[in-house]
Amino acid sequence: MAGGRRAWRAGAAGLCLLLLPLTGCGGGQAATGSAMAEVQQVLDRRTAAVLGHDERAYAETGTRASYADLRAVPLAEWSYRLTALHPDGAEATAEARLSYRVRGYDQAPVTTDRALTLSRTADGRWYVAGDKPAPKAGQQLWDQGTVTAVEGTHSLVLGVGQSTDTLRDYAGLADTAVPAVSKAWGTQWTRRVVLEVPTSLDGMAGLLGAPASNYRGIAAVTTGEAGGSGRGPADRVILNPEAYAVLGPLGKQVVLTHETTHVATRAHTSSATPLWLSEGYADWIGYLGTGRTPTETAPELARAVTDGDPPEDLPADQDFGFTDDPTRLAEAYEGGWLACRMIAAHWGRDRLDAFYRAVGAHRGRTGAVEDALRTELGTTLPDFTARWRAYLGDQLGG
């Protein structure tokens, strides 16, 4: 009997070891499920504290540093959904999906993955010790410090390490840009803009989840869903404060009007839209009414034309890449701007808008420009390219 018991116990232990990866032998799976429920309850209380502006209740669930950093953001929604928990005694790491919506701007929540660290108190309660972006997720602005918020007539400006006066200046530029874009493009868009202003180029890269070298010398970028229905999160215009600071008043306004154009046209911009059209159209609206001549606006192409080396073809998408060749990038933007300017001058502004929409509505990139040139402008790609090259010489050659 004793030997039998030993054999049974040894067999049971072996069985337990065999099944451990599958079942969490000894009740581990149930324990983890219980811990997940407990942690989710903590996150739910944390959510209620954020939305209720209750710093004390927030502190009871863990570190309060993030509360102070995001307190100024006007939130309509905020919630965590715990997706994984990895306990290790009194400590744990967790993965969660954060969803939030900015009041008055986001039609649907922004979602982002977060990596949490948790600790357990002596009486067994979990609390949040750390909350940061998941390894492949970009930062949120409050990950970089305390957010200051300024709301304009048509804009919300969120900044870190920026004075309120500086943010008000940005709001003024955005409030000028929105009606200017609506006048040119129309009013069938949200007519609101969210600007995020980090402290540095590195901060901009952190928000975008990309290397800083990709954006050196770039004053601003716009994030958003191409071809969106307008029922999703609002686009974010993210400024590079280092590059933006060196621009003059006109340059700052042109940049924000350009980026606001991307916000307005997002629903009609798709994978079928070449960058020469989307960037050229944004520049076309950006420079409307500024009084800038073609040679002032397109100095690199003007130099190429004067040197007898104009481009043979419209800019390709790869020409807009952030590389170590700023001349190539400048020529791409200038070429796109002049193409859109030529359409507006020769066919009219209404035809330019119709052409933009027709290209974006195409099922795919192949044939999109060619079909829209034929249906909206009554021309072909070779003829259009030849007209564009002649237009460069006419506008920049003298």
Q: What does the pLDDT look like over 331-351, one tens digit per residue?
A: 999 999 999 999 999 999 999
Mean pLDDT of 349-362: 98
3 in any annotated domain: no
Same structural domain, 227 and 319: no
Yes or no: say if 298 and 396 are a contact pair by the CB < 8 Å rule: yes
Alpha-carbon span 53 to 39, nearest angstrom:
21
The predicted structure's pLDDT at residue 234: 84
| Structural domain contains residue 154 | yes
Tell me if 35 is assigned to some domain.
yes
315 with 246, same domain? no
Q: In what order do the strands lie in the sheet with 155-160?
A: 147-151, 155-160, 193-197, 236-239, 220-223
Structure confidence by residue, pLDDT tens digits, 377-389: 999 999 999 999 9
| Residue 54 to residues 49, 57, 143, 148, Cα–Cα distance (Å) | 5, 5, 20, 18
- Tally of domains within the chain: 3
Residue 70 to residues 18, 75, 208, 302, 383, Cα–Cα distance (Å): 47, 9, 18, 47, 54
Q: Is the pLDDT of residue 3 over 60?
A: no
Rounded Cα–Cα distance for residues 292 and 298 (Å): 10
Give the CATH number for residue 361: 1.10.390
**Residues 228 and 275 grouped into a single domain:** no
Same domain, residue pair 219 and 317: no
Residue that wins the pLDDT comparison between 169 and 323: 169
Residue with tokens 């149930």: 30
Predicted local confidence at residue 255, as pLDDT: 97
Taking the alpha carbons at both ends of the chain, their separation in whole angstroms is 108
Residues 97 and 154 in one domain: no
Amino acid sitting at position 90: A
Per-residue DSSP letter, 62: B
E strand or H helix at 85, and its extent? strand 75-88
Above pLDDT 70, what percent of the chain? 89
Q: Quick one: pLDDT at residue 25?
A: 37
Q: Are residues 207 and 224 in the same domain?
A: yes
Section 241-262 average pLDDT: 96
Instruction: Round to whole Å and give the CA distance between 255 and 260.
Output: 9
Check which CATH number belongs to the domain holding 234 and give it. 3.30.2010.30
Average pLDDT of the residues in 260-266: 96
Q: Is the pLDDT of residue 26 over 50?
A: no
Cα 28 from Cα 17, distance rounded (Å): 13
d(C-alpha 217, C-alpha 224), whole Å:
21
Q: Look at residue 1 and tell me whether its pLDDT is greater than 80.
A: no
Show the tokens assigned to 284.
């076309």
Average pLDDT of the segment spanning 289-307? 96
Residues 153 and 228 in one domain: yes
* Range of lowest pLDDT (7-21, 240-254, 281-295): 7-21
Does residue 392 lie in a domain region? Answer: yes
Query: CA distances (Å), 112 to each of 74, 96, 138, 393, in order?
Result: 18, 9, 8, 48
Rounded Cα gap, residues 376 and 351, in angstroms: 7
CA distance 148 to 73: 8
Does residue 74 belong to any structural domain of this protein?
Answer: yes
267 DSSP 8-state letter:
G
* Listed residues 92, 109, 137: the one ending a domain: 137
Burial class (CB in 10 A: 0-12, 13-18, 19+), 210: middle
The CB density around residue 13, as the number of other CB atoms within 10 Å, is: 11
- The verdict on 277 and 395 lying in the same domain is yes
Same domain for 155 and 276, yes or no, is: no
Same domain, 144 and 260: yes
How far apart are the C-alpha atoms of 194 and 220, rounded to whole Å?
12
Residue 1, in any domain of the structure: no
Residue 279 has a CB neighbour count (10 Å cut-off) of 23
At 232, the amino acid letter reads G
What is the pLDDT at residue 231?
62
Q: What is the CATH number of the domain that holds 123?
A: 3.10.450.50
Q: Give 12's contacts (C-beta < 8 A, 6+ positions apart).
A: none
Q: Answer yes or no: is pLDDT of 17 > 50.
A: no
Q: Do 176 and 157 fall within a single domain?
A: yes
| Mean pLDDT score, 104-126 | 94
CA distance 266 to 270: 8
Least confident stretch, 138-142, 172-176, 213-217: 213-217
Encode pLDDT of 72-110 as tens digits.
999 999 999 999 999 998 999 999 999 999 999 998 999
Which domain does 148 fall in, by range? 140-266
- Note the pLDDT of residue 230: 55
155 forms beta bridges with 193
Q: Is residue 201 part of a domain?
A: yes
Domain boundary pick from 109, 137, 165: 137
In the predicted model, what is the mean pLDDT of residues 246-262?
A: 97
Residue 229's pLDDT is: 53
Q: Is the pLDDT of residue 33 over 90?
A: no
Cβ neighbours of residue 349 closer than 8 Å, sequence gap 6 or more: 184
Range name among 24-38, 97-111, 190-204, 269-283 with the lowest pLDDT average: 24-38
d(CA 81, CA 61) in angstroms, rounded, equals 16
User: Which ranges of 266-297 would DSSP assign to H, the alpha helix?
Assistant: 275-287, 294-297
The per-residue pLDDT for 226 is: 65
Residues 226, 183 contacting (CB under 8 angstroms): no
Check whether residue 327 and residue 373 sit in a common domain.
yes
pLDDT value, residue 233: 84
pLDDT at 148 over 50: yes
In this prediction, residue 227 has a pLDDT band, given cuts at 50, 70 and 90, of low
- The gap from C-alpha 82 to its chain's centroid, in whole angstroms, comes to 24
- Measured in whole angstroms, the distance separating CA 87 from the mean position of its chain's CA atoms is 33
Residue whose C-alpha is closest to residue 147's, from 203, 90, 197, 210: 197
Structure tokens belonging to residue 194: 């969210």
Q: Look at residue 46 and tell me whether its pLDDT is greater than 70.
A: yes
What confidence tier does 10 reach under pLDDT thresholds 50, 70, 90?
very low
| 87 within domain boundaries | yes
Query: Which of 86, 110, 137 is at the close of a domain?
Result: 137
- H-helix or E-strand containing 175? helix 164-185
